[in-house]
Amino acid sequence: MVVLYISLIIVILDQLTKFLVKGGTIPLLNLHVQGMDYGSSINVFGDFFKITFVENPGLAFGIDVNETSKLFLSLFSLAASIGILYYIYKSKEQKLIVRIALAFILGGAVGNLIDRMFYGVFYGYAPVFYGKVVDFFNADFFDFTIFGRTYDRFPIFNIADSSVTVGVILLILFHKSVEEKKEISVEANSVVVEGETNPELPSENNNQEMMIDGEDSNRKKDKD
């Protein structure tokens, strides 16, 4: 499906930017990228927006989890990605904007799933499914508290996180309107069906009976 190209582009951009930030070596391509030192920042728009290299070992917003939960989180992300892919395949008749939203969510989910599944092995610090997600977008918005933790800056995120957020927002904005249009269409079809089956409307048989009655009346008049 065409919308899956959106997911593929998101995954490629996400992994490329993470590789540039974290660095590493790909012997097959004879490629080596130095990357950034952990915790270091590059100012983009002063102190408001920076590129800051950190790694997230757990959930969103930097919430850490134990080793068992990390495995569960990775497996859940894998199952969710497969589920979203299947739903995109089955929802061919859905409105395009809804399928695009799902493609954004799928791309973001797969992007972070690659980190969790393979980064530990690729960088040599953990087995499969126990990797850490690379984050680097650092934006200063406003202070807020979530899950009992107070943040003076927005939690550092990446392209995959942004993609999931955009996809969810699109679903919230447009999925309801699609359902409402379906309900209106169903109601309109019901009205049409009721009109076709309404016994008060003249049917073809009734028209034929009226014509026969008219012919009989004319014959009687001719005899008289």
Give the residue numbers annotated as catalytic, written as ranges.
135, 161
Instruction: Give CA–CA dist 124/28, Å, rounded.
Output: 17
Enter the tokens of residue 222: 């001719």
Instruction: Give CA–CA dist 102/171, Å, rounded.
Output: 8
What are the two backbone dihedrals, phi and then psi, of residue 150, each rounded to the nearest 5 degrees? Answer: -105, 135
* Dihedral sign from CA coordinates of 108, 109, 113, 114: negative
